[in-house]
Amino acid sequence: MNSRTSPHSASPRMSLRLPARRPLPALAAALLGALMALVPGSASACPGPGRVTGDISVHDPSMVRLDDGRYILYPTHNGPQARVSTDRVHFTHAGAAFPSPPSWWGRYSPERSPWAPDVSRQGGRYWLYYSLSTFGSSHSAIGVATSPSGLPGTWTDHGPVYATTTGSDHNAIDPNLFVDDDGKWWMTFGSWWTGIKTIRLDPSTGKQHPGDRTLYSVAARNPTSNGIEGPTLVKRGGHYYLFTSFDKCCAGTDSTYSIRVGRSTSPTGPFRDRSGRDMRDNGGTVVLETHGRVVGPGGQSVMSDVDGDLLVYHYYDRDNNGSPTLGINLMRWEGGWPVVY
């Protein structure tokens, strides 16, 4: 990922600085607040998102820094429609990744509208993974495209990577590409049903590895009627961290999404939360949850930038009629666990 800063952009660190909080009226309340802030997953420990403006009504955002220093973000639906920013604060609409949607999309999405794209730069070019489905169905597919620049209109589609049917016990949506230190490519994906899965990919094609067809189960809810989706896998230090979105999306201020995490010493698990609970059995330490005007944060991705790691996500703005809204927080690692600020 390119780490150059545009000479005309504001400092990303400064742009995400949060306003100072007013002092609490009583010493007892202040002490209580301080204690609650030390409790992992407590609502009072969740900061507000950094300042973003412009065209920021999105779901499931994935962001990367381009070679020219700009940021490009691809969210769910309609192309998908890109947003571009020079300063990580103001985002403008930049057009559809695919002005003419590939015909094969229609087999899985009548609207030919991809969900939850994942954009990254690998091996000198940009890779875009995306999913096609309809609500409540496991007749789904994940596709892949490449681009020399990452910009809308420059993507070449390479067709399906992995698909599921109505008879499958898992769902081929919400892909995330991860490349390990040995150069092995992995794709983590999944939603509801029996949870989050991981497969190995072939770096030469970006598709499922022909010599390794293993399907790893890495996270699940029990009962399966409880939601889990939107995985993101990263490595920091000696651990692999699996971020997921728990519970219900896409219901405005009735959404119950929260972002949770577990870690492992292997990209294929087992992943355990801070208490030691396996993520295949409801484990997951809260990273971000509903607080204040921020309702149902989820659909997250993680991006490394010049000033640190970023948690990029959507939430529903209680103060703006429940509008889906882009959220960006800096994220540090304390005691081996991610903490947003």
Give the whole-angstrom CA distance, residue 335 versus residue 75: 32
Q: Which residue has the higher pLDDT, 12 or 151?
A: 151
Mean pLDDT on 3-25? 31
In a domain, 40, yes or no: no
Mean pLDDT on 61-76? 97
Q: Residue 302's beta-bridge partner residues?
A: 311
Least confident of 52-56, 155-159, 190-194, 222-226: 222-226
In a domain, 155, yes or no: yes
For the stretch 304-314, pLDDT in tens is: 999 999 999 99
In a domain, 98, yes or no: yes
Contacts of 103 (CB under 8 A, 6+ apart): none
In a domain, 327, yes or no: yes
**Contact (CB, 8 A) for 303 and 315:** no
Q: If residue 65 lies in a helix (H) or strand (E), which one and from where to where?
A: strand 62-65
Does residue 233 register a pLDDT over 70? yes
pLDDT at 1: 35
In a domain, 317, yes or no: yes
In a domain, 284, yes or no: yes
Tokens of 293: 């005007």
CATH of the domain at 186: 2.115.10.20
Nearest residue to 235 via CA among 197, 182, 274, 298:
182
pLDDT at 224: 81
Given 3-state DSSP classes, what are the helix, strand and coil percentages for the chain, each rounded to the nearest 5?
10, 45, 45
Tokens of 211: 């010599």
Give the whole-angstrom CA distance, residue 216 versus residue 198: 5
In a domain, 77, yes or no: yes
The number of distinct structural domains making up the chain is 1
229, 273, 305, 317: which one is catalytic?
A: 229
**Is 229 an active-site residue?**
yes
In which domain, by residue range, is 246 found? 50-340
> 């492992």: which residue's tokens?
264
Give the whole-angstrom CA distance, residue 20 versus residue 123: 42
pLDDT at 311: 98
Which of the four pLDDT bands, split at 50, 70 and 90, describes residue 48?
very high
60, 157, 273, 317: which one is catalytic?
A: 60
In a domain, 125, yes or no: yes
Least confident of 6-15, 110-119, 234-243, 288-297: 6-15
Percentage of the chain modeled with pLDDT above 70: 87
Which of the four pLDDT bands, split at 50, 70 and 90, describes residue 29?
very low
pLDDT at 28: 39
| Pair type for strands 196-202 and 185-190 | antiparallel
Give the whole-angstrom CA distance, residue 53 versus residue 46: 21
Q: If residue 29 lies in a helix (H) or strand (E), which one and from where to where?
A: helix 27-37
